[in-house]
Structure 1
Amino acid sequence: MDSHSTTTDELVLQEAHAGVVTLTLNRPLQFNALSEAMLDALQRALDDVATDNGVRCVVLAAAGKAFCAGHDLREMRGTPQLAYYQALFARCSVVMQAIQALPVPVIARVHGIATAAGCQLVASCDLAIASDAARFAVSGINVGLFCSTPAVALSRNVSAKRAFDMLVTGRFIDAATAADWGLINEAVPDAALDEAIARKVADILSKSPAAIRYGKAMFYRQRQMALSDAYAYAGDVMARNMMEEDAGEGIDAFLEKRPATWQR
């Protein structure tokens, strides 16, 4: 994949280089709040990535002082109708699930705050690296709204008691706590954030693309299964993975003590 930049209605900037796509939320003055238009733009960007076989990794970043402040509350108050709210949260849920449905890893690059649906966005990514100055909250409770949809992603990242504590108090946790609790992978000094992202991307790019595609799909599907079903499914996936050229090449390279050459 050649290096190039595109835009999706200017709300989500898209840059591609050497198999890595960076999607940048671009409503900086609104702390990248997820308006209807922003959700649509992000969905289109994810759909583009899903159909591009040259993509190996996605970085989800944000412009301005914050990663994402959640839903656009002003926009939400403009249409006080049950059907509208049901459609809005369903649309947001589709976007979150589209991240996990991508065949390649998605890394959240987090700075500033990630609150409510913004915290959900972090939890929905496969990996997350944050500035040590970043803060996280599911703070809807502070305005009378329990963060029910963010709770789905949050509770699949951190323990039930920690997730519920955040949901019923609305309190912020710092990046070090988020890393300790499992919401993010790593907290680094702000000046080192891009370097940490680059290291993680390089680690991913050094591995077999086929193996990662098999693995990501398997990882999320097996989590919903009973133990015996999960083992049966994982065994079948692993057997199919073994039939790929990359697996044969990787094992031969290991035995011959040489670097592997992966299929693209």
Structure 2
Amino acid sequence: MNSSDGELLVERREAVLWLTLNRPERRNALTDAVLLQMAHVVREAGTDPSLRAIVLTGAGEQAFCAGADLTPGDTPFQSDPARLTLPLADLARAVHGCHVPLVGRINGVCMAGGMGLFGLCDLAVAADHARFGLPEVRIGLFPMQVLTMLRDLIPPRRLNEMCMTGRPIDAPTALSLGLLNRVVPAAELDAAVDMLLDDLLAASPIALRRGKYAMRAVQGMGFHQMVAFTESNIGAMIQTRDAREGLAAFNERRRPSWVGC
């Protein structure tokens, strides 16, 4: 699964898969090829029971992702009637079907389509110089697809303002809105991400996967449907080997040894 060159770097670090947008000279702008490759990698990752987390970041220190590459050529704005899904939508579907926790390492500017990637992450840590924005209206567009990834993340009036004015927000503001888990100086970004990964790796793999699935599944459910769904799922989780191991470890005052099932 590793790929050490090209526009998307894929690196397996023990139980964590790192995906790095590798176009720093273009502020890690997105192309069709990169989005399609990401979707493929995420789908593969979702089938690997030994994988515990995925980290998404950008190369360099200036940009996480500035959105779509607007130069002529391989851009996500090309219209092809023969293609039923756009690459960003394909990636969103892949992430939605992947129950591995996805961590965003936001190392700089995060704009437009980059906000879509950010919205797909379950957890996110940002450098304090990062900025977040949806400037599409300033070039005659609107963040249509990105809305689906941000609707439940950003408070409605602030989302309206970002979409309708194109005005960006800084990292402290994003943190205050609940969009980020932590904001740290750039020099401390890797340490903050590692700390978050340590917490994920200390948790039961099957609990995280089933939990992420459940959190996605209950979205849009009515109250009674949600209660019935969660009731049946906790009953199933109690039967897992990890649940038995976790309870035994708690009572024996030791660290659990997870098996992931």
Check conservation: 1:9, 1:41, Cα contact below 8 A. Answer: no
Tell me which protein shows more helix as a share of its residues: 1
Q: What is aligned with 1:68?
A: 65
> Partners in 2 of 1:69 and 1:182 — Cα distance?
21
Q: Residues 200, 88 of structure 1: CA spacing in aligned structure 2 closer, same or farther, 3 A cutoff?
A: farther
1:82-231 correspondence runs (5 A): 82-83=79-80, 87=83, 90-231=86-227
C-alpha distance 234-33 of structure 1, shift in aligned 2 (>3 A): same
Cα distance 1:78–1:55, how it changes in 2: closer, same or farther (>3 A)?
closer
- Matched residues, percent identical? 35
1:254 aligns with 2:250: yes
| Aligned partner (choices 16, 23, 27) of residue 23 of structure 2 | 27
1:245 maps onto 2:244 in alignment = no
Instruction: Provide the TM-score with structure 1 as the length reference.
Output: 0.91
Report the 3-state secondary structure (helix = DSSP H, G, I; strand = E; otherwise coil) of the residue aligned with 1:263.
coil
SS of 2:9 mapped into structure 1: strand
For residues 7-18 of structure 1, what are the structure 2 equivalents within 5 Å?
A: 7=3, 10-18=6-14
Is the 8 Å Cα contact of residues 178 and 184 (structure 1) preserved in structure 2?
Answer: yes
Distance 2:84 2:183 in 1: 32
Gaps of 5+ in 2: none
User: Would you say the 8 A contact 1:89–1:149 is kept in 2?
Assistant: no
TM-score of the pair, normalised by structure 2: 0.92
Aligned CA RMSD, in angstroms, stands at 2.2
Please state whether the residue corresponding to 2:64 is helix, strand or coil. coil
The separation in 1 between residues aligned to 2:72 and 2:108, in whole angstroms, is 22
Aligned partners of 1:138 and 1:211: how far apart in 2? 35
Listed as ranges, the gaps of 5+ residues in structure 1 are none
The alpha-carbon distance between structure 1 residues 26 and 168, as it changes in their structure 2 partners (threshold 3 A), is same
Structure 1, 137-146 or 252-261: larger mean CA deviation: 252-261
CA contact (8 A) 1:32 1:62 kept: yes
From the superposition, tell whether residues 237 and 75 of structure 1 become closer, same or farther in structure 2 (CA, over 3 Å): farther
Counterparts of 2:28 and 2:142 in 1: how far apart (Å)?
Answer: 21
8 Å Cα contact 1:154-1:183 kept in structure 2 = no
- Distance in 2 between residues matched to 1:9 and 1:81, nearest whole Å: 25
Q: Secondary structure at the match of 1:53?
A: coil
Q: Retained in 2: the 8 A contact 1:100–1:125? A: no
Measured after TM superposition, the shift of residue 115 of structure 1 is 0.4
CA distance in 1: counterparts of 2:203 and 2:245, whole angstroms: 12
Give me the whole-angstrom Cα distance separating, in 2, the residues matched to 1:60 and 1:130. 12
Distance apart, 1:89 and its partner CA = 6.6
